Structure 1
Amino acid sequence: MKICMLTTVHPPFDTRIYHKEAVSLAKKYDVVVIAPSDEEINRVVGDVEVKTIKKAKNKIFHFLTLWRIFLSGLKEDCDIYHCHELGSLFLGVIFKLVNGTKLVYDAHEHWPSQFLEDIGINDTNILYGLLEKIILKYELFLSGFSDSILAVSESVAERFNNSGKPLRVILNVPVLQYSLCVDTCTKNSRELIYMGGKLQTSHGLQECYDAVTRLRADYPDIILTIVGKLDDRLNLVLKEDSDHFNITGILPYDKMYKRISEGGIGLVFFQKVSYNMYIGLPNKLFDYMSCGLPVVASDFPEIRRVLEDCKCGILVGGNGRYDIYGAIHYLIKNPDKAREMGENGKKAVEERYNWDRMEVKLFEIYSDPTLII
């Protein structure tokens, strides 16, 4: 059986698509990843065939990317198309109608709100509610052609509860072989870690900056390390104060975990700029936990569910007793409590929140009779 991991917006080596799902499925099946990229790739990487399609230089011409990916996917003649967003789902429906292939929809986001955020329409716009409903109906219509639906969290899965399709939650949790190889790292309790692909103001970096500035009065050696990229404005602001802020850029998987493990506190401080962000369950939360860091995080539903279950950090905002400054101050002032939270999180990842457990679910989905050709 041949599986095509099809994406129209994610990079070819996306953590969930390639490093987790494709690598796992390649243990039993033939797997090809087709994704847009500026880099031309056409080779087997770790038992997974990776093919990139030239990405349109301007979002206005995204339809050209869709067309190129459609042609490439058609040539592969796969048994199952595993689609990761609305664009690839649309293509997957065409493949199913034309060739009778099987279709898996993997919902990473709450696309009705995320799509509007991507094109610059927020919930203050008079048309927001109407457009969100239209996109939701479109997504539900397309997903009705799928043979199975995956979702990254319970909140994301909720909108498919009445779809009548097999529905499973596959969390974006760490691959243990990467995250547990850094146990020997020496931690700096006064280094705050904030990681992400490309961090923006919606990720609360301004609030983190302000908190660190205040904390210097008591802890002059405090530092905030950004493991990832920043948008241009934030990059300029933090570079002006390089003594207390460090930007590593995007790191390879193994180096990323090593760098996180050297820190003392992990930050997940989102702003409620969209419903998608509000119900999100960010990968970085589990990555911090796997590296033994106590977490300071926004009091959002899915994040709260994990932190209260594992007792591995402090929620800020909402009706909590701490703001971000107070939470960081508490953890630095109480190292034993910080260490306990870090150990709780690490244990939870080792026992429950890890990809080994999700891989079992993934294989169960792919062994279901509805997906067997």
Structure 2
Amino acid sequence: MKKIYFTVTNDLSFDQRMHRICSALASHGYEVTLVGRNLPTSLPLKERSFAQKRLPCFFKRGKAFYAEYNLRLFFFLLFRRMHIICAIDLDTIVPCLLISKIKRARRVYDAHELFTELKEVVTRPRVHKMWTKIERWAVSQFKNGYTVCQSIAEEFQRRYGVQYDVIRNVPVKRILAATQLPSSPFLLYSGAVNEARGFEYLIPALKHIRLPLVVCGDGNFMPQLKKLVTEHGVEEKVTLLGMLPPDQLWEITRQATIGIGIAENEGLNQYYALPNKFFDYIQAGLPQVTMDFPEYRRINDEYEIAVLITDLKTDTIAAALNNLQEDVVLYTKLKDNCLKAREVLNWEQESKKLLTFYETLS
């Protein structure tokens, strides 16, 4: 039985992509361990078909955290036996590369995003320089890998000559039973509350939008988001629910009226993004407003499940959301298309590519 170690820097409780990947491999005979971070707010881990390990850290953010976590991760892995080690994103790639050489294990890079093109990295020259050096040194040594969309795969090939597979962030197919709709319709934003997610434009737009907003998620922009809500006087129109377990998030998603997935065109990572929520909305039969970026457009051209906007002006956001709510014909068409697309864009289909990748790993 082949042993695989996956490494992340986040709390394991809410990482649905890693739950799907680890569960799929465990169900096909691999012995899987997912290693992550222990936070003061971490919930007890649920029992799963794969092993889970959290590493405690004294530092909670910044350079000190990354240095400490990578050091702890290295020594944890040093005393484990493995056949394959998979680094999830750039922030765990260094210990995985070193351990793979020491133990002569197969190494894999799973790029959930184009890390060096995150806004919080691009806009900080010293930070960007450091991560770019790490990327140049490490990624070219990971000949085997996969990422979340075609555009990022092409960017890795252009930069480092590696040919990565595409395994998208699609959810497990769920039964979409009839649900008790809420007494009042609402907009939903789910996912990371981080920089470049467009909240500076969405919150003031709420003054011109009839529906309230529910935000399910957390991240480095949460303090600024709360401040924006207060500054624009929309406290009664915004509900912040924080991070939710997947089952609870699903219940809220399938009751929402419109999903929101806007983002700034700040760095290639945002421009090439294809995040979980895009597919979660589709799975729930939920029409959405998102950006006219290459990967969203690629899927929307095929299935027509969203309204795409070309800029983040307050008027543009308000007009798109109000029109989608009011235009019954358009709303019904997009919803019907979501119900068709969810039969294709689900993990039962996508996991076949994952299993083929590991079965043929060179």
| TM-score, length of structure 1 as denominator length | 0.85
| Aligned residue in 2 for 1:231 | 222
Match of 2:205 among 190, 211, 231: 211
Match of 1:193 in 2: 188
Aligned pair partner of 1:48 in 47, 50, 60: 50
Mapped partners of 2:240, 2:74: distance in 1: 37
State the distance in 2 between where 1:213 and 1:237 align. 12
Question: Given residue 172 of structure 1, which amino acid in structure 2 is its aligned partner?
Answer: N
Which residue in the other structure is 2:35 paired with?
34
In structure 2, distance between residues paired with 1:247 and 1:258: 16
Task: Look up the match of 1:285.
Answer: 278
Cross-structure match for 1:219: none
1:98 maps to what in 2? 102
Gap runs ≥5 in structure 2: none
Q: What is the distance in 2 between the residues matched to 1:91 and 1:319? A: 39
- TM-superposed CA distance for 1:232, in Å, is 1.2
Q: Distance in 2 between matches of 1:349 and 1:318?
A: 27
SS at match of 1:65: helix
Deviations 1:251-294 (A, max 9, x none): 11011011011111111111122221111112111111111111
| % identical aligned pairs | 23
Secondary structure in 1 matching 2:343: helix
1:313-365 CA-to-partner distances (Å, cap 9, x unmatched) read 11112599x821111121122123202202212321222x1111121111101
Cα distance in 1 for partners of 2:262, 2:214 equals 14
Alignment of 1:249-264 (within 5 A): 249-264=242-257
Q: Are 2:147 and 1:144 equivalent residues in the alignment?
A: no
Residue pair 1:82, 1:104 contacting (<8 A) in 2 also:
yes
Residue type at the aligned position of 2:216:
V
CA distance in 1, matches of 2:32, 2:46: 10
Counterpart CA distance in 2 for 1:345 and 1:30 is: 35
Q: 2 CA distance for matches of 1:44 and 1:145?
A: 35
Return the alpha-carbon distance in structure 1 between the equivalents of residues 166 and 10 of structure 2. 20
Q: Which residue of 2 aligns with 1:170?
A: 167
Residue type at the aligned position of 1:26: A
Asked if structure 1 preserves the Cα contact closer than 8 Å seen for 2:203 and 2:228, the reply is no
Structure 2 distance, partners of 1:42, 1:69, is 20
Q: One-letter code of the match for 1:224?
A: L
Cα separation, partners in 2 of 1:302 and 1:369, compared to 1, 3 Å:
closer
For residues 346 and 122 of structure 1, do their structure 2 counterparts lie closer, same or farther at Cα, with a shift above 3 Å needed? same
Question: 1:217-272, CA deviations, whole angstroms, 9 ceiling, x for partnerless residues?
Answer: xxxxx211112236113224436534322222211101101101111111111112
**C-alpha contact 1:185 1:258 (8 A) present in aligned 2:** no
Q: Which residue of 1 is the match for residue 154 of structure 2?
A: 158
**Letter paired with 2:140:** G
RMSD: 2.8
Aligned runs of 1:1-373 on 2, under 5 Å? Answer: 1-7=2-8, 9-27=9-27, 28-38=29-39, 45-57=47-59, 58-62=61-65, 63-114=67-118, 117-119=119-121, 121-122=122-123, 135-136=131-132, 138-161=134-157, 167-177=164-174, 180-181=175-176, 183-186=178-181, 190-200=185-195, 202-216=196-210, 222-229=211-218, 231-238=222-229, 241-318=234-311, 323-351=316-344, 353-368=345-360, 370=362
User: Does the aligned pair in 1 maintain the 2:213–2:237 contact within 8 Å?
Assistant: yes
Q: Deviations over 1:75-123 (max 9, x none)?
A: 2211100111223222122122211111111111112222xx435x528
Counterpart CA distance in 1 for 2:257 and 2:145 is 38
3-state SS of paired residue (1:32):
strand
Evaluate the alpha carbon distance shift between residue 6 and residue 19 of structure 1 in structure 2; reply closer, same or farther with a 3 A threshold: same
- Unaligned 5+ segments in structure 1 are 217-221
Listed one character per residue, the Cα deviations across residues 112-166 of structure 1 (whole Å, up to 9, x for unaligned) are: 222xx435x528x6x89xx56x855642442333351111111111123365655
